[in-house]
Structure formats: structure tokens, C-alpha cells
Amino acid sequence: MWTLDKSLGFLTTRTARSMKRALDAKLADYGLTATQYIVLVRLWEEDGIPLTQLGEPLYLDNPTITGIIDRMERDGLLERRRDGDDRRVVNVYLTEKGRGFRGKVGKLGEETDAEAWKGFSESQKNELLDQLNRIWKKMNEGLI
């Protein structure tokens, strides 16, 4: 019989929420949220990318990423600039303040993951990651 405690969707959502809550708690002293953090991480990897390319790999839709970028720009972490070659394209760049946050909060996501993985062997960790990626691919066949 199907129950919530055996529901993959429910259990993964519950897990994701608890991990987000843990990361949010660590970021609160810096005035950041977990969602803003993943935007910063993406820009630390590749600064000056188009807004559309920023949201896609983070699985954030356009209205969501726009709101996040609005708040982060207001807080002085990043700025939007029109592309010199194509004025329709808006690129997102870190400010000095946004780049400076890397040294302050850059490892907090990794630390949160490490806390969640305590008690797991490397092979258990790799197996679970593989299984989650397989499920994600299966559920997105034909959609991506």
C-alpha cells in the first residue's frame, strides 16, 4: 500500500526542504538565502552570463530568477548589463561585494552536504547520487 513514508516525491521534497532550511540558517548572518547562494555559486563559476543561462541550470523559471536577481542587485551583490553585441540580452555580473562573499560563504553549501552525508560510505553516497540522477532523467524524458 502506498503511503507518504514510502513516497519518493514526498521523501525527496522533505529532504530538500530540511537541507535548504539548514543552509538558510547558516546564510542568515550574511543576509542571504539558499536560493541566492546557488545564484552566487553559479556566477562564481561563470561571471557575466546571460540571465537566461543563469536560471536554466539552477531550475529556476524566469519570474523566479528575475525576482532573485532584483533583490540581489538591490543588495549590491550583482548588476545587470545589456550585452554590447545584442542589446536584447541582459548579462549578470558580480559586484566586488558579490565576489567578496565567496571567501565568507563559499564553503557553506559543501559543509551542509557533508553534515547530511555523515555516516554514509563513499560507495553509498555515489550509489544514492546515481539513483537520484537516474530518477530525475526518467521523470524528465521528453521534457528536456
Write down the pLDDT at residue 144: 55
Determine contact, residues 40/27, Cβ cutoff 8 Å: no
Q: What's the CATH number where 83 sits?
A: 1.10.10.10
CB 32 within 8 A of CB 101: yes
φ, ψ for residue 10, nearest 5 deg:
-65, -45
Task: Give the count of domains, the chain.
Answer: 1
Beta partners for 101?
A: none
> Which of 1-10, 12-21, 41-50, 135-144 is least confident?
135-144
- Is 23 within a domain? yes
Residue 104 lies in a domain: yes
What residue numbers bound the domain in which 16 lies?
A: 4-139
In total, the chain counts a number of residues equal to 144
Q: pTM for the full model? A: 0.88
- Can you tell me the distance from the alpha carbon of 56 to that of 72, in angstroms, rounded to the nearest whole number? 18
The type of residue at 58 is L
Q: Which tens digits make up the pLDDT trace of 33-75?
A: 999 999 999 999 999 999 888 988 898 988 999 999 999 999 9
**Residue 96 to residue 101: CA distance in whole angstroms:** 9
Within a domain: 144: no
